C-alpha cells in the first residue's frame, strides 16, 4: 500500500529547559519501571517461589520477562514510527502496569510466569521508546546535557532494586498483603504519575500515513530472538553448549534470522530497514551497543557475585557496595554529556572509555581473598567511569545519523542489540566462570576428585558447611581464580569495543530539534 501523507506542516518552537525537564522526569520514571523491575525481582525470587510452591519454575519468572521484552523492543520502535510514539508509549506503560498488578495477584507460579511475560511486553516499549522520544524532544547537540540523568536511573535501579527486593521479601506482610507482592505493586503509583505527565505534557511530531505492518517480519524476528535468548539462558548451565538442545536452538535461530533478513529486504515497511546498515555510523553504533551489552554484563553482574560468594555478603550489602561503580558511571555520563553539548563531538568518549575499561578489567582481575574493600571501590569507580563514557554514545550517534521517520526503528535496533549482547554475554561469561571454577577446584583439591564441583556449590559457600576450613579456603581460592579468569576473558571484548569506537565516524550534531520535523507531513500529537 502506498504512503499517503497530508500536506500539513507545522512550525515548531524550541522547548524551554523547564519544559524539557518535565518531560525528562516523566521519561525517567518510565525507564525506572523497566530498569528496577529486573533487579528488584531477582532478590525476592526464592521467597516468591517458596510461597507459590514452584521452585522448579524459578528461572522462568526471569526468562519470560527477558524473552518478551527483548522480542518486543524492535517492534515498538517500528510501530512508534508508523503510528506515533506518544500513543504507543502510553500503551506500553499501561501493558506494563497491567502485568505488574496481575503479577502481584498471582496465586501460582504458572500465573506469575504468564503475567511476567505480559509485563515484559510492556517493558520492551519503555526503554526503547524513551530513548526515541528523547531524540524527538532534544536535539543531538543538546542531548548530552540530559543524558547523565538516564545513566543515573540504571545506577539507582542496580542499588535500590536489591535493597527493596530484599526488604519486601523479608517482610511477612505490608498493609495486610504479602511483602513480596509489593515488589510488583510499587510500579503502579510510579507508572500512573508517568502516564499523567506524558499524556498531558508531551507533544511529538507525527506523520499521517497509511500503513502496512510487516507481520511476517515480526514473526520471523520473534522466533529467531526467542531461540537466541533461550540459548543465552540455558547454554552452559541447564544444557551443555554441545548438547542437541542448544545446537537445535542455534540452527533455528540462524535459519529464521536469515529468513528475517530476506523478508526485510522485500518488505515495503520493514521492522528494521536494512538500508540503515548502509550508513556506517549506524552499523558501527549498533555493533558498539552489542559489545557494550556483553562487556557491561561481565562487570556489573560478576562483581556482586564475587562479594556474595567470596566475602559471603548478603545480596543487599553487595548491592550497596556497587555504589562506587554507579558513582563513576554517573559522573562520566554527566561530564561527557556536558562536553558533547559544549563542543559538539561524541567520538572521543567511547575511545577513551574503551581504553579505561581495558585498564579497569585488568586491575579488577587482580582481586584476591584479601583485597580490601577500598581497593575494590577504586577499581569499580574506574570501570563505572569507563562504562559511563561509552554507554550513551551509540544511541546518540544513531539518532543523529538517521532520518526522523526512522528514529524509532533505528533507536530500538541499537537497544535490541544491547539487550541481546547482555543476554548472550551472560551465557558466555557464566560458562567461563563455571568451567574455570571446575578446573581450579580439581587443581587445588585433586584428592577430592569430582566430589566438589561448581554445580555442587552453585548456591555459594554456605553449602560447604561441615567441610574443613582448609578445604573451604581452597574452594574460595578456586572461586577467586575463576573470577580472575572471567575478567581477563572480558578484556578482548573491551578491546574489540575500542576498535569499533575508533571506527565510529564523527558527524556534525544537529543543533535544533526543528530539524526533526523539517519534512512534509508532520503535525504535533
CB atoms under 10 Å from CB of 447, counted, come to 6
283-512, which class in CATH? mainly alpha
Distances (CA, A) of 24 to 252, 409, 477, 514: 40, 21, 46, 18
Question: How far is C-alpha 137 from the chain's CA centre?
Answer: 22
The domain ranges of the chain are 16-210, 214-268, 283-512
| pLDDT tops 50 at residue 475 | yes
Cell of 392: 550513551
Contact in structure between 151 and 330 (CB atoms under 8 Å): yes
**Residue scoring higher pLDDT (263 or 406):** 263
Among 91-105, 198-212, 511-525, the minimum mean pLDDT is found in: 511-525
Distance of alpha carbon 164 from the chain centroid: 20
DSSP 495: H
Question: What is the mean predicted confidence (pLDDT) over 102-118?
Answer: 91
C-alpha cell at position 359: 585498564
- Tens of pLDDT, residue by residue over 425-437, are 877 888 888 888 8
Burial 292-305 (b: 16+ CB within 10 A, else e): bbbbbbbbbbbbbb
- Looking at residue 492, its pLDDT comes to 94
**What does the pLDDT look like over 382-401, one tens digit per residue?**
999 999 898 888 988 888 88
**Is the Cβ–Cβ distance between 143 and 134 less than 8 Å?**
yes
> In sequence order, what are the beta bridge partners of 177?
174
Q: State yes or no: pLDDT of 67 exceeds 80.
A: yes
Q: What is residue 174's DSSP assignment?
A: E
- 246: nearest Cα among 262, 230, 260: 230
Q: Is 357 helix (H, G, I), strand (E, B) or coil?
A: helix
At residue 448 the predicted structure's pLDDT band, cuts being 50, 70 and 90, is low
In this structure, the chain runs to a length of 525
Residue 217: count other Cβ atoms within 10 Å of its Cβ: 24
Q: Is residue 420 pLDDT above 70, yes or no?
A: yes
Percent of the chain predicted with pLDDT > 70: 87
Q: Which of 304, 232, 221 is nearest to 267 (CA)?
A: 221
Please enumerate in sequence order all residues whose Cβ is within 8 A of that of 328, keeping only pairs 6 or more positions apart, or say none: 380, 381, 382, 383, 384, 385, 386, 387, 388
Residue 36 CB partners (closer than 8 Å, separation 6+) = 156, 157, 160, 161, 164
pLDDT, mean of residues 250-264: 93
Q: CA-CA distance, 418 to 500, in Å (whole number)? A: 15
Report the pLDDT value the prediction gives residue 86, as an integer from 0 to 100.
87
Mean pLDDT of 255-268: 90
The predicted model gives 158-180 an average pLDDT of 78
User: What stretch of H or E contains 288?
Assistant: helix 280-300
Mean of pLDDT values over 157-170: 78
How far is Cα 397 from Cα 393, in angstroms, rounded to an integer?
6
Architecture of domain 16-210: Up-down Bundle (1.20)
Residue 460's nearest CA partner among 300, 233, 306 is 306
Tens of pLDDT, residue by residue over 349-370, are 999 999 999 999 999 999 998 8
- Comparing CA positions, the residue from 158, 180, 104 lying closest to residue 96 is 104
Report residue 57's pLDDT band, with 50, 70 and 90 as the boundaries.
confident
Residues in CB range of 189: below 8 A, 6 or more apart:
none
Instruction: Record the cell numbers describing residue 92, joined without a space.
Output: 506500553
- Torsion angle of C-alpha atoms 111, 236, 66, 167, degrees rounded to 10: 70
Domain 16-210 identical in fold to domain 283-512: yes
Backbone angles phi, psi at 278, to 5 degrees: -75, -15
Check: CB of residue 418 under 8 Å from CB of residue 384.
Answer: no
Element (H, E) at 44: helix 17-51
Residue 401 CB contacts under 8 Å (≥ 6 apart), including other chains: 279, 281, 282, 285, 507
The pLDDT assigned to 146 comes to: 74
Structure confidence at residue 359 (pLDDT): 96
Amino acid at each position: 500500500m502506498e504512503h499517503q501523507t497530508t500536506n500539513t506542516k507545522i512550525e515548531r518552537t524550541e522547548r524551554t529547559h523547564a519544559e524539557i525537564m518535565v518531560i525528562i522526569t516523566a521519561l525517567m520514571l518510565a525507564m525506572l519501571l523497566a530498569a528496577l523491575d529486573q533487579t528488584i525481582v531477582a532478590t525476592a525470587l526464592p521467597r516468591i517461589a517458596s510461597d507459590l510452591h514452584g521452585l522448579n519454575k524459578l528461572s522462568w519468572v526471569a526468562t519470560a520477562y527477558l524473552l518478551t521484552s527483548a522480542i518486543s523492543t524492535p517492534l515498538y520502535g517500528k510501530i512508534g514510527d508508523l503510528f506515533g510514539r506518544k500513543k504507543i508509549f502510553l500503551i506500553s506503560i499501561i501493558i506494563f502496569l497491567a502485568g505488574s498488578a496481575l503479577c502481584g495477584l498471582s496465586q501460582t507460579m504458572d500465573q506469575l510466569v504468564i503475567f511476567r511475560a505480559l509485563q515484559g511486553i510492556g517493558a520492551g516499549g519503555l526503554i526503547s521508546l524513551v530513548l526515541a522520544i528523547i531524540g524527538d524532544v532534544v536535539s543531538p547537540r543538546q542531548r548530552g546535557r540530559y543524558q547523565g540523568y538516564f545513566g543515573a536511573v540504571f545506577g539507582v535501579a542496580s542499588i535500590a532494586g536489591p535493597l527493596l527486593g530484599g526488604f519486601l521479601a523479608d517482610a511477612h506482610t505490608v498493609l495486610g498483603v504479602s511483602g513480596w507482592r509489593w515488589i510488583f505493586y510499587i510500579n503502579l503509583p510510579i507508572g500512573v504519575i508517568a502516564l499523567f505527565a506524558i499524556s498531558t505534557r508531551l507533544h511529538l511530531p507525527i506523520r499521517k500515513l497509511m500503513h502496512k505492518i510487516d507481520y511476517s517480519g515480526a514473526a520471523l524476528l520473534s522466533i529467531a530472538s526467542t531461540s537466541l535468548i533461550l540459548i543465552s539462558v540455558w547454554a552452559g548451565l541447564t544444557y551443555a553448549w554441545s548438547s542437541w538442545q542448544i545446537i537445535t536452538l542455534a540452527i533455528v535461530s540462524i535459519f529464521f534470522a536469515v529468513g528475517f533478513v530476506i523478508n526485510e529486504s522485500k518488505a515495503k515497511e520493514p521492522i528494521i530497514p536494512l538500508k540503515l546498515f548502509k550508513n556506517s555510523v549506524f552499523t558501527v553504533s549498533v555493533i558498539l551497543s552489542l559489545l557494550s551489552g556483553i562487556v557491561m554484563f561481565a562487570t556489573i553482574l560478576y562483581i556482586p557475585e564475587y562479594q556474595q560468594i567470596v566475602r559471603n555478603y548478603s545480596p543487599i550489602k553487595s548491592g550497596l557496595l556497587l555504589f562506587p561503580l554507579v558513582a563513576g558511571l554517573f559522573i562520566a555520563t554527566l561530564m561527557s554529556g556536558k562536553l558533547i553539548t559544549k563542543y559538539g563531538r561524541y567520538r572521543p568518549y567511547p575511545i577513551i572509555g574503551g581504553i579505561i575499561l581495558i585498564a579497569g578489567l585488568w586491575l579488577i582481575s587482580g582481586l584476591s581473598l584479601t583485597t580490601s574493600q577500598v581497593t575494590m571501590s577504586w577499581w569499580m569507580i574506574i570501570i563505572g567511569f569507563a562504562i559511563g563514557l561509552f554507554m550513551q554514545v551509540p544511541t546518540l550517534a544513531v539518532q543523529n545519523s538517521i532520518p526522523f521517520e526512522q528514529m524509532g526503528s533505528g533507536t530500538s535496533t541499537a537497544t535490541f542489540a544491547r539487550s541481546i549482547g547482555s543476554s548472550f554475554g551472560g551465557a558466555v561469561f557464566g560458562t567461563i566462570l563455571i568451567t574455570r571454577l571446575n578446573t581450579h577446584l580439581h587443581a587445588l583439591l585433586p584428592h577430592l576428585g569430582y566430589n566438589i564441583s561448581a554445580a555442587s556449590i552453585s548456591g555459594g559457600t554456605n553449602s560447604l558447611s561441615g567441610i574443613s576450613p582448609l578445604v573451604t579456603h581452597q574452594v574460595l581460592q578456586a572461586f577467586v581464580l575463576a573470577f580472575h579468569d572471567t575478567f581477563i576473558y572480558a578484556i578482548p571484548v573491551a578491546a574489540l569495543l575500542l576498535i569499533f569506537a575508533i571506527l565510529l565516524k564523527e558527524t556534525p550534531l544537529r543543533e535544533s530539534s526543528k530539524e526533526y520535523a523539517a519534512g512534509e507531513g508532520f503535525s504535533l500529537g
